[in-house]
Amino acid sequence: MAALLGAGYARAELGSAERHAAEAPRDLHRADTVLRTATRYAAGTADAAAGRDRAGATWTSPAGQPATGTIGRPRPARAGSTTGIPVGDSGQPADAPPSTADLVSDAVCFSLLVFGGLSVLTACGLGHRLTVLDHRAEAAWQRAWAELEPVWTGRTSRRPGNGDARRD
């Protein structure tokens, strides 16, 4: 059941991400940029986490206005080189829409998390249920042994209030 729920969640997540990725290009424009500085590694930034270096650049916004800023680049580049970047309607750099492979890997990871979480919950529930059943079986065995032990050993019952119990 956990596998089915995980697969269903992955399918729903993938469909949602594909719809979102399909809508993103309408808001994005390609702008040719000229790097003002060579790329450099910027530790602690989102670009560094994504494996990109940073560089100062200039470009023309979709409205035709010149813009400058810092962009993330996936590989080292020299000052003066040109590249294309996605920019939003405002002219600011934007992230490119995720690839289909990224969307599929995200959906698979989410489904594995759902599967793993449900499996852990199921295992915990079954473990608790087995513990409860074990305690019930132990209590039933103790009651049955209390009834059978005097007959089996030939001794009288040790229960309080039994009239034929031995008194020491």
Each residue's pLDDT, cut to its tens digit, for the chain (168 residues) gives 767 777 777 777 777 777 776 766 667 777 888 887 766 655 555 555 555 667 788 888 888 888 888 777 666 677 777 888 788 877 788 777 777 788 788 878 888 888 888 889 999 999 999 999 999 999 999 999 998 888 888 776 566 655 555 544
Regarding pTM above 0.85, the answer is: no
CA distances, 76 to each of 34, 49, 60 (Å): 14, 16, 22
